[in-house]
Amino acid sequence: MGMEYLIAALIAFMFVAALIAVEAKDLLSSVISLGAAGFALSVIDLLLGAPDLAITQVVVEVVALVLLVRVVLTRTDTSVTAPRDALRTAAVLLAGGVLLVAAFVAVGGAGGDGAMPPFGQPRLSDPAAAPVQPVSADYLAKAPDETGAANAVMAILLDYRAYDTLGEATVIFVSILGLYAILRHVGRTSGAAGAAKGGPAP
């Protein structure tokens, strides 16, 4: 029971950190607030019993934070010169509204069927309460025999739902290709290295 309040406090911390990240005038404080929100999310993952997700979240957060701090520190001017106040206030108001609607639905305000199941009893693993035939119970029961993997998360990610994982890998591959394409274009049109190759810039 105390776990719910701890998680709620962490979510409030994440909300405050995200607001600071949006509203801060200095880019470095904004980046650090974003990192604080990410680490709070990884702690929530750990409390909810998802170590796979927590490991990935922490590692990605560290690399992204180092990269962003590096980028911010090498910039000469780290202050936001043109604050778009109207757009930013609109974004914050929109996010607050979405959060309110989500909370309204979660506590069952829009009818009893939308109510959130009690903590620790997810709806998908309860055959009686689920509107459709649940699959997660089957996964947990059959994964060790069918795949031989002791970690059920990996059994789902790379065996039962491997098609999704292939899509995610494709997304990462294409985005990194796009990054190379953008950086290559600028590098080729300027500097001595581009002129040595002699390729005409498109």
Partner 1 sequence: MNQPGMSLIVKNTTRLITGFIAVFGIYIALTGHISPGGGFAGGVILASAVVLVVLAFGRDVAARLVTEPQCHAWDAAGAMGFLAVALLGYLVGGFFWNFLPTGRLGHLYSGGMIPVANLAILVKVGAGLAGAFVALALFHRTTQRREI
Q: Which is nearer to partner 1, 70 or 84 (CB)?
A: 70
Q: Which is nearer to partner 1, 95 or 157 (CB)?
A: 157
- Long-range pairs for 28-31: beta carbons < 8 A, 24 or more residues apart: 28/69, 28/72, 28/73, 28/78, 31/65, 31/68, 31/69, 31/72
Q: Which is nearer to partner 1, 28 or 95 (CB)?
A: 28
What's CA 111's distance to the chain center, in Å?
A: 30
Least distance CB 148 / partner 1 (angstroms): 3
Least distance CB 24 / partner 1 (angstroms): 23
Q: Which is nearer to partner 1, 126 or 164 (CB)?
A: 164
Residue 14 contacts residue 37 (beta carbons within 8 Å): yes
Least distance CB 15 / partner 1 (angstroms): 26
Q: Which is nearer to partner 1, 5 or 163 (CB)?
A: 163
Beta bridge partners, 79, equal: 26
User: Any idea what DSSP says for residue 156?
Assistant: I
CB burial string 79-110: b at 16+ within 10 A, e below? eeeeeeeeeeeeeeeeeeeeeeeeeeeeeeee
* Residues forming the site for partner 1 (CB under 8 A): 51-52, 54-56, 59-60, 62-63, 66-67, 70-71, 74, 144, 146-151, 153-155, 157-159, 162-163, 165-166, 169-170, 172-173, 176, 179-180, 183, 186-187, 190-191, 193
Least distance CB 200 / partner 1 (angstroms): 18
Least distance CB 166 / partner 1 (angstroms): 6
